[in-house]
Structure 1
């Protein structure tokens, strides 16, 4: 049975598009690694594969967990096998703070982008705290200028949400639309169809490099910065949770560690 069959099962079970894309990609990589059908791969071989991904490929904590979840589900749905992969979940998540950049640096990156299309993509991602998948999944009709909202559909957890649309962003999008005339998706590739997430991250990194921002900049950096800047401005943490689409307030609470208004206004004794 092919990966395509696995995708069909996940579609019928109403998994979100992002989850389906991630899980099918993980399964394809595993098939390429083993060079044989996965039903002929035993648990010992799977354990060696995990060791390879963690120690050789240096995958992140979250991706390691995602590999285990995807392969466990694949074996269950395709072969009715209950493979015990939970113990391969990383035991402790690294306690890292999110990378955040200042508002002026966000502006520098936008200004350093090549054209109005790239500028609009970066500006929209930051202005609404969008995940990269949410940004490239947006269709023209999801921008409601009469209500001044953005309709994010089938996001993480298969949830829709409504976000406020900035007046300045709307102006940028109108200029972009006039020049590029997208057909269905708000941002489309050179040959039409949906823009790719890898292409967006590539253009973002290039713009950040030209802007001389000496940090590792990804689409999630823009999202982290959006949340942190809202918090520093006094926005209620539960409002930020809703805007970001977090199911748990605990996920949103991480931003309180990088943006504590009381601490940010403390003057160092050195300045005296």
Structure 2
């Protein structure tokens, strides 16, 4: 049961912010994505709220108790591990407790085979796209193995039709990389470009504006 102590939680109490600022600085120094930072802040704050105390006043036994609480509450293994990973970072980096990785174990997730679409199913999926923009975007995601965030971040200048490669900036792990570009995929992208004449991003949207801000930051 949560301890209803009156000790203020520095992650949520607006009057006491040094701990929150320190955690944000630690994440920013390591160039963690905005989404990861929000997730970590939320997890660490929830940890403190559960016990009614500031997180820096809690220990590994409290982490264990909260982990059991999350499991008993019915959260999935991945959801529990996401929260515990945030606590591991908080203890190891922000609180400088170097033994945190050994003291805060993650639950082992069950390994399941993923369903793989047949080429015919993929073709039907792409053909069912509502318009040439989405057909080109789906073709790009499938043909080059890109994530959604990578597709919306592709610029016209990233397509190299001479070397037949595609430049992906700020991909997973905030790394740049190249992907192969097939002649069929190049034709699909050219058809979309001729139809819409995008200037910077191949698929302009509010999300591509977010991608631009992330890459410039």
TM-score class normalised by the smaller sequence = 0.5 to 0.7
Call closer, same or farther: CA 1:190–1:154 in 2, change over 3 Å. closer
- Counterpart CA distance in 2 for 1:6 and 1:186 is 36
For these two proteins, the number of residue pairs brought into alignment is: 189
Matched, 1:168 2:181: no
Write out per-residue CA displacement over residues 132-165 of structure 1, whole angstroms, 9 at most, x where no aligned residue. 3433333332221222111123433454332211
Q: CA RMSD in A?
A: 3.4
The structural deviation recorded for 1:89 is 0.8
Contact 2:91 2:100 in 1 (8 A): no
- Counterpart CA distance in 1 for 2:204 and 2:72 is 37
The structural deviation recorded for 1:177 is 3.2
Q: How does 1:112-191 map to 2 (within 5 A)?
A: 112-190=128-206
Q: Which segments of 5 or more consecutive residues in structure 2 lack a partner in the other structure? A: 1-17, 212-217
Query: Which residue number in structure 1 is paired with residue 76 of structure 2?
Result: 59
Q: Which segments of 5 or more consecutive residues in structure 1 lack a partner in the other structure? A: 196-272
Contact 1:187 1:194 in 2 (8 A): no
- Counterpart CA distance in 1 for 2:145 and 2:207 is 27
- Counterpart CA distance in 1 for 2:116 and 2:165 is 25
Contact 2:44 2:87 in 1 (8 A): no
Normalised by the length of structure 2, the TM-score is 0.66
Query: Which residue number in structure 1 is paired with residue 13 of structure 2?
Result: none
- Counterpart CA distance in 2 for 1:191 and 1:158 is 17
- Counterpart CA distance in 1 for 2:25 and 2:125 is 40
Query: Which residue number in structure 1 is paired with residue 63 of structure 2?
Result: 46
Normalised by the length of structure 1, the TM-score is 0.55
The structural deviation recorded for 1:79 is 3.2
- Counterpart CA distance in 2 for 1:101 and 1:24 is 34
Higher Cα Rg, which structure: 2
